[in-house]
Amino acid sequence: MPPSTDDLTAPLIIPARPDLTGGRRIGVLLSHGFTGSPASMRPWAEHLGALGYGVAVPLLPGHATTWQDLNTRRWTDWYAELTRAFDALRTEHDAVVVGGLSMGGALVLRLAADRPGEVAGVMVVNPAVATKRLDVKLLPVLKHLVPSFPAIAGDIKKPGVLEHGYDRTPLKAIHSLMRAWPSLRADLPRITAPLIYFRSADDHVVDDASEPLVLDGVSSGDVTRVALPDSYHVATLDNDAPTIFDESAAFIGRVTSA
């Protein structure tokens, strides 16, 4: 029987198997994106778990409930949950690598900037830290007049694949995300951990404003960009997912080697 939607969207914890990772306990924290859920990260997490890494995929507040619930949550709520999961991994593992999709990418970049001595590596897939869209300037007013816009979830090229995200985009919540961007961009130079940046060639959610800001903004001396030529925004579930899985596994092994 295939897993239910509730099972797919639930938080995921996979225990480390140090017998597969040279005797060291290596943790990986993966964060889903805005209006998404752990379902978008589950195949990635399971791939890394099978290699012996201890993986945590938290469910960010307001997700996998209703978009109306998400509209009552803010960046501080999502970041608090991510840091809670990170601290739990840190207590049980010798090193922790963080990764995220879209808003999840922004969250793990924030974490790497705030905890530079504790993050062993950063993996981002189509992270969102800026946009060229002009209509976002109207959000401070629109969010009080219109509760939501059409969905941004489900941008997947591969036929028949579902993200299990919301069918609406709550405006108060997404405005909170965008208000967090300027301080994050200002703090990108504080990121010194190795970085691997996965970028889809055709992304209908995150435009090309974010990539140069991140790649040029971090202070990491070890930066790798990996192109995803056959995927849309939710690349972790798309045609190039095997590339993400394989390249990230190699990255984690390299940056956490004793």
Catalytic residue from among 40, 200, 203, 210: 203
Residue 102 bears catalytic tag = yes
- What one-character-per-residue DSSP string does the chain give? -PPPHHHHHS-EEE---GGGTTT--EEEEEE--TT--GGGTHHHHHHHHHTT-EEEE---TTSSS-HHHHTT--HHHHHHHHHHHHHHHHHH-SEEEEEEETHHHHHHHHHHHH-TTT--EEEEES--S----SGGGGHHHHHHH-SEEE-------STT------SEEEHHHHHHHHHHHHHHHHHGGG--S-EEEEEESS-SSS-TTHHHHHHHH---S-EEEEEETT--S-GGGSTTHHHHHHHHHHHHHHHT--
Residue 216 bears catalytic tag = no
Residue 32 bears catalytic tag = no
Catalytic residue from among 31, 40, 102, 210: 102
Catalytic residue from among 31, 233, 238, 240: 233
Active site residues per annotation = 102, 203, 233
